[in-house]
Amino acid sequence: MLRTHRLRSLLASAAAVALVATGVGTMSIVETAQASTGSGGKVEVVYSGYNDASTTNRLTTQAPKTLAPLANAAAGTSTIAVDPSITYQTWEGFGGSLEDTSVYNLGLLAPANRERALNDLFNPTTGNNFNLMRLPIGCADFCRDAPNYWTYADNGGTPDPSLATFSIQKDIDNGLITMLKRVLEINPQAKFYSSLWSPPAWMKTTSSITGPAAGGTCPTDGSAPRVHHGGSTGSSVDYYPVLAQYYVKYIQAYKAQGIPVYAVTLQNEPNITMPYPATCFSPTQLAEFAVVLKSAFTTAGIATKIWGLDDNEQNSFPYADALLGNAAANAAVDGLGWHNYAGTQVWQPSAVEALHPGKTAHITEITNGADRLVEYFRNNVSSYSYWITQYQFMPGPGPGYWQGTSNTNPDFYTPSVVSFAGSSTTNQGDTSNYQLNGWYYSFGQFSRYVQPGAVRIDSTDRVNGNLTNVAFKNPDGTIVTVVVNRIPTSTNSAVQNTPAAAIRVATPDGQFTDTIPGDTVATYIYTPTTGDTVSTAGAVASASATSGAFTATQAIDGSSTTAWTSGTNQAAGQTFTVDLGQAKTFDQITLNGGSLGGDAPAGYQVQTSANGSTWSAAVASGAGTSSLTNITVPTTSARYLRITQTGSAARWWSIANLSLYNSAQGLLPLAGASVSGAPTSGTDVAARAIDGIESTRWSSGAAQASGQTFTLDLGQARSVNALELDNARNPGDQPRGYSVSTSTNGTTWSSPVAVGSGAAAPATAAANGASPTTKIAFPTTNARYVRITQTGAAAGNYWSIAELRAYNLAPIVLPRTGWSASASSTEAGTSTANILDGNTATRWSTGAAQAPGQYLQVDLGRITQTTGIDLDAAASTGDYPRGYTVSASMDGSTWTPVAQATGVAADVRAQWLSTDARYLRVTLTAPFASAYWSVAELTVWGTPSTQPFGVPLPRTGWSTSASATATGSATANATDGLLDTRWSDGAAQNGTEWFQLDLGSAQAFSKVQLIAAGNLDNSGGDYPRGYEVYTSNGSGWTLVAAGSGTGNVLDITLPAQNARYINVHQTGTDGGHWWSIAEIQVLR
């Protein structure tokens, strides 16, 4: 048996030195490069109180902060390090439910007040931008007709397997369809997903829509209300195919009303039965239905996503294993939905994503406080839905099962997002008017600022006990960090009297500080100046000194929870070296200390090399700062970089994550830029369009007219290929027409590189303030000056820009697998398939002169987040579209315009706000008699997808052993592919436990992943408090990694290994938790 070797002294030392303020050691004689970070950029700040008891701030704008160069944290200040180089899940949307109770209550409002309420909820410019809403398929528990619940094909209880009686007329009569259409007018980006509570009674074994009076967990004795499924339910019929057609007809009926259905969940809470609409599915039954439903969707040409589970956290793993562990069901299901009524931590999505990468996680039902929302989002959740938009205060009176229920839980009586004006538990209030409640404001701290298509980025987890946070990078490049200051409690409505907290937010762009009031949600938004992250994939790191297995590899593994550490006090001459594998261009290095943030270098200098042996003079020098150290260097292209310690300190030197940035790629810094506008309105000067604050603007001060200009001077020649004109909260002030030209000297201007019309929402929405951002794309140009000339006119609107952003983008190109294309006409000898074949020598062509109405359409095969398109005419240089509109659709029926422009060259590019679509259609809007319209290659751009930790090794021939095994568990459970089984050691963690894998033969790998099992109360936490990883080929063991456990999913990156045996030692102590493994994966 392997002898345990622990680094307890290291862990204790690291924890201690993390609290030590950084001192300044011996400085290099090389002058520090001029910093580009902390250059005075502004940070927008918005506060809201946590709940209805905290009313001081209600989406209240605070004085902006200024990004300053990094400095060590002041005493009593908690640091949150934000690291955009480490990314997680992509954001899909924020919203709630529009079930019948909400529709009923909103319908009682006076028409003008209802219109205001809908805009407060959904308007992306003036409201909360709720953009992902849950709908019931038939009656939910909150239904105006309770207890006379209904479905779309009741037929008096008589079986109707052909669904001849199917009708959504109830949704039309009750006002739901009208309301959804208005929501789409107000917010064209809004999406709807739908959940079933019960199918028609005749489909069920109990012949009842509702469950029994005594609700609870679904029994297994045959009395549960289930859908007839042959022998599985003791039935002579199988209604799963009929239920699948019920879904198909629902989606088709909504499509006919102009309402696409983005996703469906398989069943609301499939393991519970209640005296309202409820249906039970065992995990196996739900997986079987998922396969049937997917087949029906495929046959009907429906791309609507399918989400499983849709239940509470304690049911996560049985359903996840059945739905995702089965190949056919896995192929059918796109993601899982969670509720949180058990009240425990929702960590299970991280475990599911680790074992099944690519499957998305969603909170599909619960109204919870911002502290819990942060928890959800930090556990890989991609969307959030509160439950109930408007109900009357409970207990009733009011529609729905729960309205008359008595409950001692104080949260049960809190108001919904919207309620009647002046309402309370004893007063119904004014049913013709409404009020916005605490939930509205705390939810708005997220929904108004985190855009669909955003990617979550790394940030320090809970600090100071009370401070939680989550950070995102939006598609437009802006960074949003939401910080919650709230004493932890399971009760949202409790008055906690949380003390104010001083924070320091450290970023690659510098830092800002704030003091957040107690029981407050704070949102911070800033525009970064560092450009894109430079990939370090495939890089190799080494160091002059390393403590045990805290290897240099762990500083470049894309994680802030693992680290390299020197194992000895800082001294001049220590080095950390990275071989990037090939020459890469960068101008900033950021060192993230992770949990060892106090181990910043006392002094440093940076050198680069092309070959790893001949080194440049120092390109930068300075002293590190706690948590993050930003090192700005002159723009450098090199394969190797070396950081040399030039100071000394009585602490080790540690790096959790090293990242590189290139400010010439991505969102371009405008710190040295200047702008001018002609004309300009008073104090709305041009400089306000690049001040980083969306509440300020440049404005023309006159009605839009052809010839008005706005000019950007980048300060030096840069590569640029895209602009964004953000109108923020200036409805209707987008340019009615524009032409973009560039210049190297500000005198001689190019021909237009882009011509088009400013983004305009439908007229009904524009009238309410929904004015989307105008995005402009064009072929990469090297220029110092960019001029936008107004070519349209609008007598009733100024031309305004709240924020102008310039980019040199390398768009994320979506893979074209499974795509198809069609067109209004095709020239003989060409084909629409040619635009997807990767060959610019082939093409599609109209075969006729360009004319309005001609179109080219691509079917992406599945609903995907899209951001742009590239139409390359290649050799047919004159066959570009003279005028066109791009529209997007989820169902091929309801189309939303996302871009409109005029082609000016063979390579036509268009960008838009992240939009979910299966179909994209480009339609000509202008005639041109002298040319056909031809496309050689069509490329679609999208948002980043979560990258898996690695490629798992097949488990064939593996065997397992452990230091001890609890009764009822087995070591083999850790490799059975199931999250609902586990190995446990059966005792509190004491630092002597081990778990061993025999891979059967020597294999190449570089990563080990431990997925913890939940303990008996489902709260998780059985991860190792410390660990060491050893490998062997049968004759001696090599220590290859060490660290501290930080959560229920532990990703461990190793130096490249070729070994047969892996032994993981648990080196920490925790009297309250066993060590358990649900799954262990070994990855390449």
Q: Is the pLDDT reported for residue 7 higher than 60?
A: no
Counting Cα atoms < 13 Å in the Cβ hemisphere of 39 gives 18
The secondary element (H helix, E strand) that includes residue 621 is: strand 620-622
pLDDT tens for each residue of 197-218: 999 999 999 999 999 998 999 9
Query: Which DSSP string corresponds to 708-760?
Result: -EEEEEEEEEEEEEEEEEE-TT-TT-S-SSEEEEEESSSSS-PSPSEEE----
Q: Is the pLDDT reported for residue 17 higher than 60?
A: no
Q: Is the pLDDT reported for residue 652 higher than 50?
A: yes
| pLDDT score, position 600 | 98
Closest C-alpha among 760, 764, 762 to residue 797:
760
Query: Which DSSP string corresponds to 110-132?
Result: -HHHHHHHHHHHH-TTTS----E
pLDDT tens for each residue of 751-792: 999 999 886 544 444 444 345 689 999 999 999 999 999 999
More confident residue, 957 or 16: 957
Q: Is the distance from CB of 77 to CB of 503 less than 8 angstroms?
A: yes
pLDDT tens for each residue of 289-336: 999 999 999 999 999 999 999 999 999 999 999 999 999 999 999 999
* Helix residue ranges per DSSP H, 392-491: 438-447
Cβ-proximal residues to 1041 (8 Å cutoff; 6+ apart), any chain: 549, 551, 553, 554, 562, 1008, 1027, 1028, 1029, 1052, 1053, 1054
573 burial level (CB within 10 Å; 0-12, 13-18, 19+) = exposed
Tell me what the mean pLDDT of segment 588-597 comes to.
Answer: 97
Closest C-alpha among 88, 183, 59 to residue 770:
183
pLDDT tens for each residue of 324-368: 999 999 999 999 999 999 999 999 999 999 999 999 999 999 999
Counting Cα atoms < 13 Å in the Cβ hemisphere of 293 gives 32
What number of H helices and E strands is found in the chain?
13, 56
Closest C-alpha among 636, 633, 635 to residue 622:
633
Closest C-alpha among 887, 894, 890 to residue 857:
887
More confident residue, 740 or 1017: 740
Q: If DSSP codes are grouped into helix, strand and coil, which group holds residue 876?
A: coil
834 backbone dihedrals φ, ψ, rounded to 5°: -65, -25
Q: How far apart (Å, rounded) are the C-alpha atoms in residues 940 and 901?
A: 17
| pLDDT score, position 561 | 95
Q: How far apart are the first and last CA of the chain?
A: 26
pLDDT tens for each residue of 490-546: 889 989 999 999 999 999 999 999 999 999 999 999 999 999 999 999 999 999 999
Q: How far apart (Å, rounded) are the C-alpha atoms in residues 548 and 556?
A: 17
Sign of CA dihedral 616, 622, 625, 630: negative
Q: How far apart (Å, rounded) are the C-alpha atoms in residues 673 and 693?
A: 16
Q: How far apart (Å, rounded) are the C-alpha atoms in residues 1020 and 1017?
A: 8
Q: How far apart (Å, rounded) are the C-alpha atoms in residues 641 and 440?
A: 49
Q: What percent of the chain has pLDDT over 90?
A: 88
Mean pLDDT, the chain, integer:
93
Tell me what the mean pLDDT of segment 660-673 comes to.
Answer: 96
Q: Is the pLDDT reported for residue 10 higher than 80?
A: no
The secondary element (H helix, E strand) that includes residue 894 is: none
Q: If DSSP codes are grouped into helix, strand and coil, which group holds residue 853?
A: coil
Domains of the chain: 8-33+541-667 (2.60.120.260), 42-91+451-526 (2.60.40.1180), 93-447 (3.20.20.80), 674-810 (2.60.120.260), 813-942 (2.60.120.260), 959-1083 (2.60.120.260)
**Running DSSP on this structure, what letter comes out for residue 91?**
P
pLDDT tens for each residue of 125-180: 999 999 999 999 999 999 999 999 999 999 999 999 999 999 999 999 999 999 99
| pLDDT score, position 599 | 98
